[in-house]
Amino acid sequence: MLNLAIAAAIAMVILAMLLNLFRLVRGPSLPDRVLALDTLSINTIALVMLLGISLGSTVYFEAALLIAMMGFVATAAYCKFILSGNVIE
């Protein structure tokens, strides 16, 4: 029963990632694309966590933490780029 729930959760996260990818490609404006990229990184974290739960390994949780930190830095850099036109001043 647990394997079925994890498989269903993985399928839903993959569907959410595909919808985010669609918004990333077709986004009408740059802030929409940045938001889609941020949401895609959150869904990637969820997918890695579900994979770690299904395989029973703690290494995946550390990888999810690294993805979360890199996603935050990337989102902050994209927002700074939108506001000022360059990242490093």
Residue-level pLDDT at 78? 86
Round the CA-based radius of gyration of the chain to a whole number and report it: 15
State the total domains in the chain.
Answer: 1
- H helix and E strand count, the chain: 3, 0
Residue-level pLDDT at 2? 82
| Residues in the chain with pLDDT values less than 50 | none
pLDDT in tens, 36-52: 999 999 999 999 999 99
Which structural domain, as residue segments, surrounds residue 76? 2-84
* Residue 89 covered by a domain: no
Residue-level pLDDT at 77? 87
For residue 22, give the CATH number of its domain: 1.10.287
* Residue 75 covered by a domain: yes
Q: Which long-range contacts (CB under 8 A, 24 or more apart) does 61-66 make?
A: none
